Structure 1
Amino acid sequence: MPVRSADQIIHKAAWLYYTHGLRQDEVAKHLDISRASVAMYLRRAREIGIVTISTSTELFSDDVLARETEDALDLETVWIIPEDRQAFNPSVEMPVVAAAAFIELINKGDRVGVAWGRTVYHIADVMPYADLQGVAVVQLCGNLGAPYSYRPDQCTTEIARRLNAEGINLYAPLVLSSERLAEELRREPVVREQLLAITDCQLALYSVGGIEDDSHLVKCGAITAAEMHALGQAGAAGVIAGQLIDADGQWLDCAHNRRCISADLDSIRKIPKRMLVVQEDSKYEPLVAAIKGGFASHLMVTASMAKRLLKRAKGAGLKHT
């Protein structure tokens, strides 16, 4: 099992104090808690065996892996999903854990940005019910054709419904037929106001898409498989909120992106809490690009993916610059 949310701050406090050698006041400042709380958490860490039991490294191996990944990638929080298929199925459990972690990141009065895709759709489908009046859930990118599953408006509406929050949909297509039309639509007062409002978000929830022939952009008809293949040859590495990014996580200058109605990528990067959830092994390279581009402050991945990221970080490096 991954570390329980109630115990995660205990493990983080112990990690900073015992592994990084920070003083208790420094730990308190880093975690934005009182020094008295740090002392309490360190005492609790000893009581439950995080720091004193000789087998603690084995018992808390996933938690140690999470802390190491945070350090290596300079992320605020990492959640690790185990892959013991007999006891813990990531495809079933990751959306449940992600939904619970997502709710804990929301503060009263927050504006929350939500993108699209299968991962976010499954998180929305298991989102626990809560009463978060005063919170607004905002759609980060334009919409798709009605026959397509996992539409952005469905994800936004369902999450808002589960949280009893206000839902703000972006009533514009994801991709327009021409660059001129897309530019004119972005200048429309209603659309411009909605896109600008994304800069006021305190939290974002999304995954990163791949550039395979069966990727979401291809399946929804936004782009053909041949066009996607050509864009991959031209440097496309992944998809964030419907927009293509290169291997360094930068906006790719291409016709698709210029015709896309979506949040400006710089606006997404400026959102303080950016929760990126990735399950599929096939998304390793897109995930690397997203991390390099600064699209994650909070990350949820499987244990095997975290190990691959750590190995990569020890080589070429992965921190956002």
Structure 2
Amino acid sequence: MPIRPADQIMHKAAWLYYTHGLRQDEVARHLDISRASVAMYLRRARENGVVTISTSTQLFAEDVLARELEDAIGLKGVWIVPEDRQAMDPASEMPVVAAAVFLELINKGDRIGVAWGRTVYHIADVMPNADLQGVTVVQLCGNLGAPYNYRPDQCTTEIARRLNAEGINIYAPLVLSSEDLATALRNEPVIREQLASISDCNLVLYSVGGCESDSHLVRCGALTEEEMQALAEAGAGGVIAGQVIDRNGQRMECAHNRRCISADLSSIRSIPKRMMVVEEDAKFEPLVSALNGGFVSHLVVTASMARRLLGRWAAGGNRRMAQQAQG
């Protein structure tokens, strides 16, 4: 049932108090209401059963802008993190909202694919513990060097630990030194089986990488700045699970992708629930590329990003609808 406007403040109070752990006086200051009002709203929230994560996330989904964006792009679900005075800092709020949405999307016995990056790691870091035995968390791509933060194995292992689920890591590098070596490694029975099993996933959690000089692929040493710049000039639009896609969301035919150990992108597109979380404004064009390619069915973004996306689709700049997002 949609949240009535009169109940919005109750849900905000419950979210801040129960999910963020703010004291009642802090909630009062944040919402610019009295502490007595906070106590009344929290009591009403308990009586009405809205203090659960499941109900609280409606606060970010029951929004006209979210519905408009779902209809315009053909998405199954959109959650918008507001940027007003009653919202937490979007940088800290985004992972909390995303973690709650992610938990809602998991069903008993699901197989979940997880990519890598700062956004995914922050989601894992704030994810509450859950007992989801029977769930399996699978790494989508090979690994990075030990000094690099937010490695694929770290993201997969931490999410599996939080869910009390089985975690399956791919013990291979993300990028090999030659195409022949990458082909040989992909044909190794263990690696081949792991990559093939990704198509059996019910849910995938990831963000999209950019193609700028300080992108993850450049910082981890997979590509040089010059190589990334050349790819951008050739039409690169973003990075999905370590692979470069063009602005239409299609896998680029390039040496990097041929040397990459990662899930087949068509396998990722076939996963029923493809949850993407994007918090940086600089990721707008990569997100558009991911949407064009059908890599998103469920989306968590800031309000400003949602308005930019809606403007792009309304202007007819992206007429291609991601048919997989509607399937």
Alignment TM-score > 0.5, same fold: yes
Q: Confirm whether residue 230 of structure 1 aligns to residue 230 of structure 2.
A: yes
User: Alpha-carbon deviation of 1:171?
Assistant: 0.6
The residue that corresponds to 1:256 in the other structure is: 256
SS at match of 1:221: coil
Distance 1:136 1:60, change over 3 A: closer
User: For residue 88 of structure 1, what is the aligned residue in structure 2?
Assistant: 88
Match of 2:278 in 1: 278
Residue type at the aligned position of 2:128: P
Looking at structure 2, the residues matched to 62 and 272 of structure 1 have their Cα atoms a distance apart, in angstroms, of 22
- Give the match for residue 179 of structure 1: 179
Q: 1:85 to 1:143 in 2, by over 3 A?
A: farther
* 2:40 aligned partner: none
- Per-residue Cα deviation, 1:268-294 (whole angstroms, up to 9, x for no partner): 000000000001110110000000000
Preserved contact between residue 62 and residue 82 of structure 1 (Cα < 8 Å): no
C-alpha distance 62-302 of structure 1, shift in aligned 2 (>3 A): farther
Equivalent residue, structure 1, for 2:114: 114
Q: Secondary structure at the match of 1:239?
A: strand
Work out the CA distance in 1 between the residues paired with 2:78 and 2:258. 33
Cα distance in 1 between the residues matched to 2:69 and 2:124:
26
- Measure how far apart 1:194 and its partner are: 0.2
Q: Tell me the CA shift for residue 87 of structure 1.
A: 3.5
1:29-68 alignment, distance < 5 Å: 63-68=63-68
- Unpaired segments of 5 or more residues in structure 1? 1-6, 12-47, 49-58
The residue number in structure 2 matching 1:242 is 242
Match of 2:214 in 1: 214
TM-score (norm 1): 0.81
Paired residue type of 1:287: L
- Deviation string for 1:293-320 (max 9, x for gaps)? 0000000111111111111111223521
Mapped partners of 1:61, 1:155: distance in 2: 26
Match of 1:260, SS? coil
Structure 1 residue 225: Cα displacement: 0.7
Distance 2:102 2:82 in 1: 19
In the TM superposition, what is the alpha-carbon distance from 1:85 to its structure 2 partner?
Answer: 5.6
- 5+ residue gaps, structure 2: 5-47, 49-58
- The answer for the alignment partner of 2:322 in structure 1 is 320
| 3-state secondary structure, aligned to 1:116 | coil
In 2, are the aligned partners of 1:288 and 1:318 still within 8 Å (CA)? no
**Quick check: 2:60–2:79 contact (8 Å CA) kept in 1?**
no
Separation in structure 1 between the aligned mates of residue 61 and residue 173 of structure 2, nearest angstrom: 45
What count of residue pairs does the alignment treat as equivalent? Answer: 268
CA 1:318–1:65 in 2, change beyond 3 Å: closer, same or farther? farther
SS for the counterpart of 2:209 is coil
Structure 1 position 83, deviation (Å): 1.1
Percent identity of paired positions between Structure 1 and Structure 2: 74
Deviations 1:9-68 (A, max 9, x none): x78xxxxxxxxxxxxxxxxxxxxxxxxxxxxxxxxxxxx9xxxxxxxxxx9997110000
Kept in 2, the 8 Å contact 1:96–1:123? The answer is yes
Whether the 8 Å CA contact 2:61–2:78 is kept in 1: the answer is no
Matches of 2:289 and 2:178 in 1, distance apart? Answer: 27
Q: What are the residue-to-residue correspondences of 1:16-165 with 2, within 5 Å?
A: 63-84=63-84, 87-165=87-165
Q: What TM-score, normalized by structure 2, do the two folds share?
A: 0.79
In the aligned structure 2, how far is the partner of 1:318 from the partner of 1:267?
20
Aligned to 2:54: none
Partners of 1:85 and 1:252 in 2: how far apart? 42
Runs of 4+ residues deviating >3 angstroms = 59-62
The 1:215/1:102 distance shift into structure 2, 3 A limit, reads: same
Between the aligned partners of 1:190 and 1:213, the Cα distance in structure 2 is 34
Q: Structure 1 residues 60 and 136 mapped into 2: Cα distance closer, same or farther (>3 Å)? A: closer
CA RMSD, Structure 1 to Structure 2 (Å): 1.8
- What residue identity is the alignment partner of 1:64? V
Q: Distance in 1 between matches of 2:195 and 2:219?
A: 25
Q: CA deviation at 1:118?
A: 0.4
Aligned to 1:307: 307
- Pair 1:74–1:61, CA change in 2 (3 A): closer
CA–CA distance in 2 between the matches of 1:229 and 1:60? 37
User: Would the aligned equivalents of 2:212 and 2:228 in 1 still touch at CA under 8 Å?
Assistant: yes
